[in-house]
Structure 1
Amino acid sequence: MWHLIKKTDKNKKEYRIRLSASVIATKGWLNGALSFCGHDESETSLYRGHFIELLKLFGVVNEEIDKVILSNAPRNNQLTAPSIQKEICNCFAAEVLKKIFDELCDDVFSILVDESRDVSKRNKWLCLVHVMETTALSLKKAIDELFAHYNLSLSRIRGQGYDGASNMSGEFNGLKALILKENSSAYFVHCFAHQLQLVVVALANKHHEIFNFFNEVSSLVNVVGASCKRVDLIRESQRERLGLNPEVETGSGQNQELSLARAEDTRWSSHEKT
């Protein structure tokens, strides 16, 4: 009996060390917003993905960790599976949300709603809830369920901001109107950045010189980007131009080499550098 108890305590200690290593690795990649998995995570792979490779480094610098992780751990308890990684990530997300809600307490707040898609082309709701439809009623239902889950009250909303789509800001049946029916203090504000973007794009399309300019840029990006040799020529030309111009300033954010990017109406964050 004593032998079994001693072995159980040893297993618990090893499990805690293994779990702590996985949690710390997850925290590191979450802080850097980096990917976890690799294309080939088998033991014969040269690089098994960021998560597992970081665990391997833990083992290199700490002998106690090395003894209980990866191949030295039980096959059914290595704590490296994608499902385990996601579960740890969800725990971090829950703690962050708990902190936000603790700070919010019973104070008033505003909500911002927009569509976002991941690589699987699934719409995300606050990166928490997958919505099958984007109708006003579906979005309102998603908000109600989210509020119920986190014990938030619709009556505490004092502002709501969306784009100008009819399902969002429709006067009678939009999401804005549905929330206002329950809370008349939830004032709606059309996203100013979205309004400005719509105006700029509309004016640019009406101005022939601007339209022709971006049309030429798009064609150049297609032609140059399709060939490594042409990209190298562009880089060399840029180096010569900067080398012959003594007035060019250098430093962070100035005259760095950037990849060729296609200009689009909705590429919000890259108009200037593109």
Structure 2
Amino acid sequence: MHTATAGKADGLTIQAGLAQSDSFVVASCHICNNRNIKIMANGNNLTSCNSSILSSSAPSTSGTGISLNTNIREVVNNNDDVVNFLLETKFSRLNYDDKLFIVKLKPRPQMKNLIMKNKGSRGNRGFNNNWYDKYNWLTGSEKRNKLYCWSCLLFSETKQSPWTSGYDDLKHLSESLQKHGNSEQHTHASLKFKLFGKNNIQDSIDSAHVQSILKHNELVKENREIITRLIDMIIYLATQEQAFRGHNESRDSLNQGNFRELASLLSKYDNKFKVFLDESSVFTGLSKTIQNELIESINKVISEIIENEIKMSPFLSWQVDETTDINCRSQVSVIFRYVKEGKAVERFMGFFDASEGRTAADLFNLLIENFSKYDITNKLIGQTYDGASVMSGELNGLQSRVKQIAPQALFTHCYAHRRLQVLSYRGGVINHPIIDY
């Protein structure tokens, strides 16, 4: 009897992860060479019973006595049944190193118990080991007492063949061996067997894929740094209210426009940016299309920030005024005023095309279409326009229509327009210079 304390003692090694219940585990005994001994757990001490008595009740993957924790190299070193091990653990589940180790094996068991009894007075027919020399793919399992195809056992995708499930008909062995050797299934399996280990294609593909991902990520990082510079340039010009484009942006032009000239200036002090501008053939970021796309992207980000601020504010007011662009198209400018962190802030919401109609109804529909998402019915408490009847009319003007959906939205005449009217009036009635001393 062998005993074990704290997992290993007296030639006994505990196999972790094979406990069948709280009362026992599985161990390997290096003295009696029994790898499936049930160990009774008693506190911190583990006491084994006689291995010859308990080996019949030891847990295994089937009735053949191969432990789930058994390594293929242990099977070979102990002269165990390799074929039986593969039938239980499956070749496809092993790691690459174990697969490579197995492929190099050529198990040729004696198969002394594979006997076929003949009828009559003739003797019994047994397996002849010379079959191994004639068919080098032939192998067998003494524990299962059957013959197998070594290459099909490892690489065949079809498991219904008798040469993967086990063959024991010695009477028709010669005919069956010849037929299987010429089968398509065996040909494919043999080809995989011959090529396996020559070059680990999967490792090469994985390595190339990893390198490709790393290279791509590095390129993405560099491109993001370039885009950051372009965005900063756009924000700078917009903050300074400078025009982006020039009248002549060709390479020979003395002034290619603020955006291109600013990019040229930065490239003198930023080598990475200079290399990008000089060598990039697909995307340089200086075209008018890219400029407009970046401006739209920045506008989208800013709009999302403003939208979140408005949603957090309990009240808001707006100022709306009509103007025309350089093409004399009518458009409406909108400014929102609301409280953020206890302070009143103003946000320019943008210009909106009003060329399709400039009536009070048209302007009202335009505002509702663009700003109803801000819950103006409950939040809008103030509205400011100029003195035009379309905007400030108490009966049919824009302010009256807004009050129908937001009664708390008080109207205030724009003070800037009032000052302009005062100055215009004073300028019209004064016909002589005013001299101040």
TM over 0.5: yes
| AA matched with 2:294 | I
1:113 is matched with 320
Who wins on radius of gyration, i.e. which is larger?
2
SS in 2 for 1:168: helix
Matched, 1:140 2:364: yes
- Displacement, 1:4? 5.4
Q: State the partner residue of 1:28.
A: 236
SS at match of 1:89: helix
Q: Which has the higher strand share?
A: 2
The answer for the alignment partner of 1:202 in structure 2 is: 425
Aligned residues of 1:162 and 1:190 also touching (Cα < 8 A): yes
Other structure's SS at 2:254 match: coil
d(CA) in 2 for partners of 1:145, 1:167: 19
2:376–2:406 contact (8 Å) kept in structure 1: no
Give the conservation status (yes or no) of the 8 Å contact 1:147–1:154.
no
Matched with 1:100 is 306
Instruction: Tell me the alpha carbon deviations over residues 106-136 of structure 1, each in whole angstroms, 9 at most, x when there is no partner.
Output: 4111111111233222333333321112211
The answer for the alignment partner of 2:431 in structure 1 is 211
TM-score (norm: length of structure 2): 0.44
Work out whether 1:122 is the aligned partner of 2:122. Answer: no
Select which of 276, 291, 296 maps to 1:90.
296
Change (3 A) 1:17 1:204: closer
Count of residue pairs the alignment pairs up = 208
Q: Which amino acid is 2:322 matched to?
A: E
Q: Identify, as 1 or 2, the structure richer in helix.
A: 1
Distance in 2 (CA, whole Å) between partners of 1:193 and 1:53 is 37
1:155 aligned counterpart, secondary structure? helix
- Consecutive unaligned residues in structure 1, runs of 5 or more: 215-274
**1:74 — aligned with what?**
281
Question: Which letter does structure 2 place at the counterpart of 1:143?
Answer: L
- How far does residue 178 in structure 1 lie from its aligned partner after superposition? 0.6
Distance apart, 1:97 and its partner CA: 3.2
Q: Give the whole-Å Cα distance in 1 for the aligned partners of 2:352 and 2:359.
A: 15
Identity %: 26
Q: 1:197 to 1:46 in 2, by over 3 A?
A: closer
Alignment partners' CA distance in 2, 1:129 and 1:74 = 37
CA, structure 1 residues 97+8, in 2 after alignment: closer, same or farther (shift >3 Å)? Answer: closer
- What displacement does 1:172 show? 1.5
Residue pair 1:140, 1:178 contacting (<8 A) in 2 also: yes
Q: 1:41 aligns with which of 249, 255, 258?
A: 249
For 1:51, what is the secondary structure of its paired residue? helix
Rounded to whole Å, the distance in 2 between the matches of 1:66 and 1:196 is 51
Q: CA deviation at 1:152?
A: 4.0
| Structure-2 change in CA distance of 1:154 and 1:89 (3 Å) | farther
TM-score, normalising length: structure 1: 0.67
